[in-house]
A and B are shown apart, each in its own frame.
Chain A
Amino acid sequence: MVRMIGRRVAIAVPLLLIVSFLVFALTAVSNTDPARAILGEGATAASITNLRHQLGLDQTPLHRYGVWLWQLLHGNLGRSWFGNVPVATKIAQGLPVTAALVLASIVVTAAVAMPLGLYTGMRPGGRVDRIAGAVAGFFLAMPEFWVALLLVLILSQKLHLLPGTGTTVITANVWLDVQYLAIPVIAISLPQICALYRQTRASSEIVARQDYVRTARAGGIAEAELLRTRVAKNALVPAVTLLGLQLGRMIGIAAVVESVYGMQGIGSMAVQAALNSDLPVVLGIVLVTAAVVMAANLLADITTYYLAPKARRA
């Protein structure tokens, strides 16, 4: 167990270094000049040269990478090229919003998809199964940010049920947070619910046919208990792995949905930074999201480890 975690971290660190290096290497071939972007079209050549020097852009990418890495070792992600705010401070502002959005989406996804998938998998070909299958195929195809737009149109502008734009901060008022999170969470979750539902249903169907389920039936165990215990524990192993992978996709999609819904999370922050060529912020967010996704996959593996005792020998 400890060794598994250790091995994962041992892979994660060099990867993050390689990714960050590649981003610096890309700047070498880039023909956009951040200094010009920051100062705008009317800037004089002198002021651009001056800013380039301030930002260290006149150094080679390798040198800049060394400086960035050295700062990182001291827990410093650098400063934004816009407004001179520390990247860590910016990320700390946006992270709670994105974390709330993504965590709520993960919870909603798991809470809807897993029970439904376990249920229909035990009754393949039933009415619920056929309806859910068709609905899942359709919603899986809808782009999340478009769903968010439609939800704003229907739930906010037409029916006035929910706010039409998001929030900058997560407040202590849970009810208010729920209202502000509802539309983006539904938009992000919908396709993921469908994907996770299909996975859970497929493995539940396989598990329900296993000899050991028949053995439990021969012991008089009721179907509902079978579903809650035996089928759930066996069938959720691949589902949990998928859920871990879905987190990454959700973080990526959150960038778009946050922008649609006007939320100040790290996703919309990354978009803004990319539009501004604000390299330190972009890099910081890439590192943080990659670390979060790695942690989530590790967590999924640990969960799997407890769900599937047979795998523990490995």
Chain B
Amino acid sequence: MSTATNAALSVRGLDITLIGGGRPVPVVTGAALTVAPREIVGLVGESGSGKSLTSLALMRLLDPKVARVTAGSVALFGRELLDLSGSAMRAVRGKEIGMIFQDPMTSLDPAFTTGYQLTSVLRRHTALGRAQARRRAVELLGLVGIADPRHRVDQYPHQLSGGMRQRVMIAMAIACEPKVLIADEPTTALDATTQAQILELIRTLAETMHMSTIITTHDLGVVAEVCDRVAVMYAGQVVELASTEQLFYHPRHPYTERLLRSLPRVGAAEQLTGIPGQPPRAGNFPPGCRFAPRCDHATAPTCTEDVPALRPLAEGRATRCARTAELKLTGVGR
């Protein structure tokens, strides 16, 4: 794990509480994650694991009537974001951190041209004039691989394909050359061919623009393809931190092992399936280890009563399994 001082983005002890339905319900507890400069980190988990909420929390974009950050720290190059004023945070959004959302069909405004949506972000954060911003918007559309950007800049989202819309959203996210890019399930809504292209685009851009990137996904294939390091989330907690290689070959948490086992042997890019039982929902998290009820290795009372901590194992490695030293977990074969 990189030390916090030279990290691009460092998340510590992040708690998120759902407040929508009367009684507050903790949904993410103690999320921790560090992204070094120019690193691509995957945040992996099933539906409901809290990864999307976590990524929104980093941008402070949680709907305050639905969910709130109740504890923790999010530091961008050592600067605490959770303490910033609303307007200071708005200056960070789009300028220092760019964000890509999962559904390109609903995430672009149907009433405005792609050009307008791009230039409004550009002009918010730069001193560009109208004509300059437009020229830059055309450039950006070209940069994200949209053919005939001069024409596309005046089109509305409904005139573009899903893949093109996702490219437009990427162009908006990188318009002001942010240092950090957060991509929340950037390929989930796309078909397989487009998925690969979009991932390749994100990786290339991250490289050429020296961005640190967080990609949330439920798809270990995505992780294998682009990520340097991985944080695995389960039931609102980060359960394992590792480099991609270590995670795949030497998992240290039983949940990770199960994830890997559910991957088909041939062709890595497949969805997670085949873990018996349902992940617990927020408000019904079991005491002790939250994975214990579905875990083959769980023993009472160690796993069912004691709350495991996220324990560092080595530089950049940590696991939230009390029995990790005793267990012999298997990764994917070489």
Contacts and interface: CB of A to CB of B under 8 A. Distances in A.
Interface of A: 125, 209-222, 225, 229-230, 233-234, 307-310, 313
A234 B61 contact: no
Interface stretch (B91-99, B142-150, B208-216, B323-331): B91-99
A161 B173 CA distance: 57
Contacts of B249: none
A309 B111 contact: yes
A215 B93 contact: no
For the complex of A and B, the 4 pairs showing the least CB-CB separation, nearest first, are A220-B94, A219-B121, A219-B94, A220-B93
A212 B112 CA distance: 11
B125 interface: yes
Contacts of B99: 215, 218
Interface residues of B, number: 33
B111 A218 contact: no
A218 B101 contact: yes
24 contacts: A211-B107, A214-B101, A214-B107, A215-B99, A215-B108, A215-B117, A216-B109, A218-B93, A218-B101, A219-B93, A219-B117, A219-B121, A219-B124, A219-B175, A220-B91, A220-B124, A221-B121, A233-B111, A234-B109, A234-B110, A307-B111, A310-B111, A310-B158, A313-B158
B294 interface: no
A210 B93 contact: no
B289 interface: no
A225 B119 CA distance: 14
Contacts of B108: 212, 215
Nearest to B125: A220
A221 B98 CA distance: 12
A209 to B, nearest CB: 8
Contact of B101 (A211, A222, A230): A211
Given A220-B91, A220-B93, A220-B124, A215 B111 contact: no
A308 B87 CA distance: 30
Contacts of A214: 61, 101, 107
Interface of B: 59, 61, 63, 65, 87, 90-95, 98-99, 101, 103, 106-112, 117, 120-121, 124-125, 156, 158, 169, 172-173, 175
Contacts of B172: 215, 219
B106 A211 contact: yes
Contacts of A225: 120, 124
Given A209-B63, A220-B91, 9 more contacts: A211-B101, A212-B106, A216-B120, A219-B120, A221-B90, A230-B111, A234-B110, A308-B111, A309-B156
Contacts of A209: 63
A217 B124 CA distance: 11
Given A218-B101, A219-B120, A229-B120, A310 B94 contact: no
Chain A interface secondary structure, helix, strand, loop or mixed?
helix
A235 B101 CA distance: 22
B113 to A, nearest CB: 8
Contacts of B169: 215
Contacts of A218: 59, 61, 93-94, 98-99, 101, 173
A292 to B, nearest CB: 29
A175 B32 CA distance: 67
B103 A211 contact: yes
A118 to B, nearest CB: 14
Contacts of B111: 230, 233-234, 307-310
Nearest to A218: B99
A201 to B, nearest CB: 16
Contacts of A234: 109-111
B253 to A, nearest CB: 31
A205 to B, nearest CB: 11
A126 to B, nearest CB: 11
B90 A310 contact: no
Contacts of A220: 90-95, 121, 124-125
A182 to B, nearest CB: 36
Contacts of B109: 212-213, 215-216, 230, 234
A308 B90 CA distance: 28
Nearest to B169: A215
Contacts of A215: 99, 101, 107-109, 117, 169, 172
Of the candidates A210, A212, A214, A222, the one having the most CB atoms from chain B within 10 angstroms of its own CB is A212
B78 to A, nearest CB: 21
A309 B158 contact: yes
A24 B192 CA distance: 68
A310 B121 contact: no
A273 to B, nearest CB: 45
A220 to B, nearest CB: 4
Nearest to A216: B109
A307 B101 CA distance: 25
Nearest to A222: B90
